[in-house]
Structure 1
Amino acid sequence: MNDIPYLLRGVQPMTTESSVLISSSKYLNDPRLREWVANIALKRNGPDMPAQAEMYPLIALLDELQDKHRIEELFTAERKKNPVMDAWFNEWFLSDYDADYFKQFDEGSLGHIFYRDVIEKNFEIVIYEKPQAKTQFEYFLYRAGQNHDLEHILTGGDFNYMGELVPAWFRITNQFKHLSPELATEVSLSYLFVTMRYSIRTLLHYPTVWQTCQNAIERGMKCGHASGPLFMAKYEPVFHLPLAEARLALDVHEAEFVDTTGPSMVWAGRDAA
């Protein structure tokens, strides 16, 4: 025993009759996800693969790997002890606005800020098309997609690479605050992978950006801890309100906006202006 290094004590080599790599983790067992994680964590940034394109194959992978039946059970159990969530699912509200809808709002309002920061900059309101939701999990994901850019504004995340960390860490933190741990895990997986690529690659390759990265994570977590369940928000009733009032109406607290344009340009491999 004394000849075994301290950190290696307790290691139990395992054997298997399997002829291929296999583990107790369904995520590790998937060769596509292993390759994706290795590339996304260790690569440098380049114009040949924009960061926003990196998530596209992951969505399909997670769709295959997650146990949909178990997730439906978790949502059903959550609804039994959470009447607010039960009412949210029963309403099954879906936004139907288009770009022109936001032209009506006064300057300084949440609706005007959304028009200025999203629509006038030619961002797509819907990042990727999803079919109409039929299950509880599909509905949860559908609303998350509809509201993602609004969550940027509500939580203080700039519309650039480092700004993505704020709503992502808000979501992870906020979902673990308001949902059971197993359900929070299932609905947080994509956000975890989003943040992994930014945080690991920043520390490995872009050290001058690290403090911006860390601050964005901290701001998202702080806001997530302090706020109500924003993932169930309906924004239409508050689009006309000034941002500060809209945040209060939606029970969002401790949000702080930081301009992360320059560090995001460095992270993307371009000189900051």
Structure 2
Amino acid sequence: MNDIPYLLRGVQPVATESSVLVSSSKYLNDPRMREWIANIALKRNGPDFPAQAEMYPLIGLLDELQDKDRIEELFTAERAKNPALDAWFNEGFLSDFDTDYFKSFPEGTLGHIFYRDVIEKNFDIVIYEKPLPKTQFEYFLYRAGQNHDLEHIMTGGDFNYMGELVPAWFRITNHFKHLSPELATEVSLSYLFVTMRYSIRTLLHYPTVWQTCQNAIERGMRCGHASGPLFMAKYEDVLHLPLEEARLRLDVHEAEFVDTTGPSMVWAGREAVDA
């Protein structure tokens, strides 16, 4: 026993006749996921494959790997003990706004900020097209996609690479505050993978950006801890309000905006750090 290194004590080799990797983790078992994780965590950034393109294959992978029947069971159980969530699903509200919808909001309102920071900068309101939802999980994801850019504004996340960390970590933290752990895990997986590329690659390759990265994570988590279930928000009810009033109306607290433009450009390899 004393001959076994301390960190290796308790390891139990598992015999198998399999000729390929076998694990108790369905994520590790999938060679596509292993390849995606290795690339997403260890690569440097380059113009040949922009960061936003990295998430596209993950959507399909998670769609295959997540147990949809189990997730539906989890949502049904959650609704039985959470009247607000049950009412949200029963209403089934879907936004139908387009770019013209935001033109008329006066300066200073949430609607105007969205027009200025998203539409005028030619960001697409819909990141990728999804069919109308038929299940509880599909509805949850559909609304998350519709509200993502608004969540940037509400939580204080800038519209750049480091700014993505804020709403992502808000979401993860907020899910675990307001939902049961197993369900919170299932609805947080994409946000976890989104943040992996920023956190790991930043520490490996872009050390001057790390403190910005860490601060963005902390801000998102702090706001997520302090706020109500923003994933059920109906933004149409508050777009006419000044930002701070809209936050209060939707029970969002501890939001702090930080301009992360410069560090995000460094992370993307577009310019050197200022001395």
Partner residue, 1:37: 37
The 1-side partners of 2:57 and 2:198 are apart by 17
Partner residue, 2:249: 249
Q: Output aligned runs, 1:106-121, within 5 Å.
A: 106-121=106-121
The 1-side partners of 2:25 and 2:172 are apart by 21
The aligned amino acid for 1:120 is E
Q: Which stretch shifts more, 140-149 or 9-18?
A: 9-18
Partner residue, 2:229: 229
The 1-side partners of 2:54 and 2:19 are apart by 31
The aligned amino acid for 1:238 is V
The 2-side partners of 1:122 and 1:6 are apart by 56
CA deviations 1:39-91 (Å, max 9, x no partner) are: 00000000000000000000000000000000000000000000000000000
CA-CA distance at 1:104 after TM superposition: 1.0
CA-CA distance at 1:19 after TM superposition: 1.6
The aligned amino acid for 2:195 is T
SS at match of 2:48: coil
Q: Output aligned runs, 1:1-273, within 5 Å.
A: 1-271=1-271
TM-score by length of 1: 0.99
CA deviations 1:109-130 (Å, max 9, x no partner) are: 0000000000000000000000
The 2-side partners of 1:206 and 1:228 are apart by 34
Superposition CA RMSD, Å? 0.7
The 2-side partners of 1:270 and 1:232 are apart by 37
The 2-side partners of 1:23 and 1:67 are apart by 17
Identity %: 89
The 2-side partners of 1:237 and 1:183 are apart by 27
Count, aligned residues: 273
The 1-side partners of 2:169 and 2:250 are apart by 18
The 2-side partners of 1:196 and 1:15 are apart by 32
The aligned amino acid for 1:188 is S
CA-CA distance at 1:214 after TM superposition: 0.1
The 1-side partners of 2:34 and 2:96 are apart by 38
The 2-side partners of 1:220 and 1:265 are apart by 20
CA deviations 1:222-243 (Å, max 9, x no partner) are: 0000000000000001000000
Listed as ranges, the gaps of 5+ residues in structure 2 are none
SS at match of 2:10: coil
The aligned amino acid for 1:256 is E
The aligned amino acid for 1:6 is Y
The 2-side partners of 1:98 and 1:214 are apart by 34
The 2-side partners of 1:109 and 1:25 are apart by 46
The 2-side partners of 1:237 and 1:195 are apart by 30
SS at match of 2:107: coil
The 2-side partners of 1:46 and 1:243 are apart by 35
The 1-side partners of 2:33 and 2:4 are apart by 34
SS at match of 2:103: helix
